[in-house]
């Protein structure tokens, strides 16, 4: 579809579906776009929010905060602002790449990258035919964001731009992404291809235009940052944030064994987004109000952490390094077995402080944890294994938040 028609259709649909204040629920807008045959993936965006933020000069977007799934709303701006557009692009790690470059047909693009790269499992327990390589997608998006935070890591010439994907082919040759100036779509750059220097059209253009090949993203300077020092003991925990602010991330089977008084647990997957938001808020209030339940949850988390430290003592690889995009910093992941000591339910994010002690900041569903860990290196782990992660159990729309 012509980009001018896409823009006109988008504006018209927002006008038609806006409430009295001009806001439209993004999910409803997505349905209307589909009815009008506007396919954001065909336009190079992997999520509807990415597509919308590419029009941030004319569209304003807001997020209704939640413990698990947010609700987005959009409306037309009164006065387009180029300055504001730049701010939105630079402040959103998960949207940075697709705001910067048109990636062509999203699924085809990542299929091509998967075929070039050294063989690796880029999906979880169940493969989704509509979005078959979620790990690879997350990897490239957040790798680009990390590179954008490092001076000189994204190379540019008059005509081309390029970055090092951090991936290699089966000969362990580095794979680069080459882009050219974009005059057709909203993004300033357009993907040419993934390439090996000197090979194929893209590889030859890469060498012709860049004397020095772009460097990989840099995540750590000291090997000690990659290890958990068990001599420091167990991490201190932000229990309120872990249990109350992230009640929606606690496994349902764990909550069923520690159910708050006078609160009826539900399967959140069957709820609408609005009802799910309210459900998680009510759950947090019920836990906080029930002292016994709050204490039981706290004690069980502490027991799980004690077990994790013992596992690290036995095998230092148990603690897995990860990069946290929204915080732009390195942390470590620890496995938490909350119901059965043999089954890891959730990952704890810990940070080493200047004193040498550790702080446990938050918990992550396992697929979030895997995505963040994969940015640094493919996890060599006995507990964070892609094919064992069931995203139906710990699914969440907003990764790395």
Supply the angle between the helices 366-376 and 134-148 in degrees, to the nearest 10.
50
Set out the domains of the chain in order of their start, with CATH numbers: 1-90 (3.30.420.610), 93-218 (no CATH), 224-388 (no CATH)
**Spatial CB neighbours of 97, under 8 Å, sequence gap ≥ 6:** 103, 140, 141, 144, 145
C-alpha 375/C-alpha 141 separation (Å) is 10
Token look-up 């253009």 returns: 205
Beta strands in 21-159 (DSSP E): 24-25, 59-64, 71-76, 101-102, 155-156
What single-letter DSSP state applies at residue 185? S
Query: Going residue by residue through the chain (401 aa), what tens digit of pLDDT does each one get?
Result: 566 778 888 888 898 888 877 888 888 888 888 888 888 877 777 778 878 877 877 888 887 765 456 788 888 987 544 443 333 344 478 888 988 999 988 889 999 999 999 999 999 998 888 888 999 999 999 999 999 988 889 999 989 999 999 999 999 999 999 999 998 878 899 999 999 999 999 999 999 999 999 999 998 877 777 899 999 999 999 999 999 999 889 988 899 998 898 899 988 888 888 888 899 999 999 999 999 999 999 999 999 999 999 999 999 999 999 998 877 788 999 999 999 999 999 999 999 988 889 999 899 999 999 999 999 999 989 999 999 998 764 444 444 44
pTM: 0.76
Hey, is 168 helix, strand or coil?
Answer: strand
Of the candidates 97, 401, 352, the one whose C-alpha atom is nearest the C-alpha of residue 235 is 352
Give kind and range of the element (H or E) at residue 205. helix 200-209
CB 214 within 8 A of CB 153: yes
C-alpha 394/C-alpha 400 separation (Å) is 14
């Amino acid at each position: 579809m012509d980009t001018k028609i896409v823009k006109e259709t988008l504006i018209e649909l927002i006008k038609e579906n806006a409430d009295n204040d001009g806001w439209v629920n993004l999910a409803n807008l997505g349905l209307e776009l589909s009815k009008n045959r506007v396919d954001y993936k065909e336009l190079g965006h992997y999520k509807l929010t990415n597509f919308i933020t590419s029009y941030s000069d004319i569209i304003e977007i807001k997020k209704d905060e939640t413990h698990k799934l947010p609700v987005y709303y959009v409306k037309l701006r009164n006065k387009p602002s180029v300055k504001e557009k730049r701010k939105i692009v630079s402040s959103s790690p998960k949207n940075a790449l697709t705001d910067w470059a048109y990636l062509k047909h999203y699924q085809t693009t990542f299929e091509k990258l998967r075929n070039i790269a050294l063989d690796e499992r880029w999906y979880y327990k169940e493969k989704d035919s509509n979005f078959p390589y979620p790990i690879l997608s997350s990897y490239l998006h957040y790798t680009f964001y990390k590179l954008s935070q490092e001076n000189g890591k994204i190379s540019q010439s008059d005509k081309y731009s390029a970055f090092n994907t951090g991936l290699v082919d089966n000969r362990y040759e580095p794979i680069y992404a080459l882009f050219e100036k974009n005059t057709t779509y909203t993004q300033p750059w357009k993907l040419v291809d993934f390439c090996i220097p000197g090979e194929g059209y893209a590889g030859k253009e890469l060498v012709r235009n860049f004397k020095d090949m772009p460097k990989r993203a840099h995540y750590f300077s000291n090997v000690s940052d990659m290890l958990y020092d068990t001599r420091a003991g167990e991490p201190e925990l932000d229990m309120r944030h872990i249990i109350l602010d992230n009640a929606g991330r606690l496994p349902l089977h764990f909550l069923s064994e520690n159910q708050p008084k006078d609160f009826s647990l539900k399967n959140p997957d069957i709820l609408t987004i609005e009802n799910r938001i309210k459900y998680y808020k009510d759950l947090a209030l019920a836990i906080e109000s029930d002292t016994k339940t709050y204490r039981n949850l706290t004690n069980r988390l502490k027991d799980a952490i004690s077990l994790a430290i013992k596992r690290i003592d036995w095998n230092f690889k148990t603690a897995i390094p990860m990069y946290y995009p929204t915080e732009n910093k390195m942390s470590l992941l620890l496995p938490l077995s909350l119901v059965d000591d043999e089954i890891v339910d959730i990952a704890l994010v810990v940070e080493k402080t200047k004193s040498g002690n550790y702080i446990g900041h938050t918990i992550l569903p396992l697929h979030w944890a895997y995505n963040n860990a994969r940015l640094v290196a493919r996890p060599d782990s006995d507990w964070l294994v892609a094919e064992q992660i069931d995203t139906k159990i710990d699914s969440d729309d907003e990764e790395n938040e």
